[in-house]
Chain A
Amino acid sequence: DQQVKQNSPSLSVQEGRISILNCDYTNSMFDYFLWYKKYPAEGPTFLISISSIKDKNEDGRFTVFLNKSAKHLSLHIVPSQPGDSAVYFCAALPGTYKYIFGTGTRLKVLA
């Protein structure tokens, strides 16, 4: 039973354009969400997070949007760069320690 879903296993985007990665969750009790970027054989790197009391959070090229009624969040990367090519995981924190990760979306930014 996958409580956090990333339905697109992969995404290709042209350099300079916007990348939009999506994530859906099932439990309305989730109150904190995070995005991570991961290169092969490395640990995930924290990118950006959002609390359920907000609907948008921005950090440089990265913006996360949260739609609580749809139980949906998205990560926007503008402009996309070749170095952004990686696997992106969304995660939800329903309580204290048990972060729940999605299955990941592989982003490829084409030069």
Chain B
Amino acid sequence: DTEVTQTPKHLVMGMTNKKSLKCEQHMGHRAMYWYKQKAKKPPELMFVYSYEKLSINESVPSRFSPECPNSSLLNLHLHALQPEDSALYLCASSPRGGGRKLFFGSGTQLSVL
């Protein structure tokens, strides 16, 4: 099983809403990532959790709040987003910290109105 599962697949939210993106993997990977991807651009790293601890925050605005409840789950809490935050949000995982292959989920297409 090389699957990273993300829900929901699509999300439309207003600028005052609070929503959460969810990600799950059962490959025993201990590093989990959030990326943001705009059309025709490469994925842009947001956060990395290693062994359930936040390891990297790429200066992401506080309206994005990550959470790693356990080694299989990763959430991204969204609050007071801006229209420019509309993008494809990708979760990924890799084997024990520093593991080489990065596996992506199918993403959540987010539209902020």
Instruction: Map CB proximity to A onto B37-53 as digits: 1 under 8 Å, 0 otherwise.
Output: 00011110100101000
Beta-carbon nearest neighbor of B94 in chain A: A97
Q: How far is the CB of A48 from the nearest CB of chain B, in Å? A: 10
Q: Count of A residues near B, CB < 8 Å?
A: 23
Beta-carbon nearest neighbor of A101 in chain B: B42
* Interface residue? B81 (CB, 8 A): no
* Interface residue? A103 (CB, 8 A): yes
In the assembled complex, which residues on chain B have CB atoms less than 8 Å from the CB atom of A91? 102
Instruction: Map CB proximity to B onto A45-65 as digits: 1 under 8 Å, 0 otherwise.
Output: 110010100000000000000
| One of A46, A95, A101 near B43 (C-beta < 8 A) | A101
* Interface residue? B28 (CB, 8 A): no
Bound CA span A46–B102, Å: 7
Given A46-B102, A89-B42, check contact A97 B107 (CB 8 Å): no
Q: Count of B residues near A, CB < 8 Å?
A: 28
* Interface residue? A111 (CB, 8 A): no
Q: How far is the CB of B98 from the nearest CB of chain A, in Å? A: 4
Bound CA span A99–B92, Å: 11
Given A34-B101, A93-B100, check contact A104 B40 (CB 8 Å): yes
Asked if B104 and A49 make an inter-chain contact with CB atoms under 8 angstroms apart, the answer reads no
B interface with A by C-beta (< 8 Å): 4, 6, 31, 33, 40-43, 45, 48, 50, 55-56, 88, 90, 92, 94, 97-98, 100-107, 109
Given A49-B101, A96-B97, 8 new contacts (CB under 8 A): A42-B107, A44-B43, A49-B100, A93-B100, A96-B98, A97-B55, A101-B42, A102-B42
A interface with B by C-beta (< 8 Å): 32, 34, 36, 41-46, 49, 51, 89, 91, 93, 95-99, 101-104
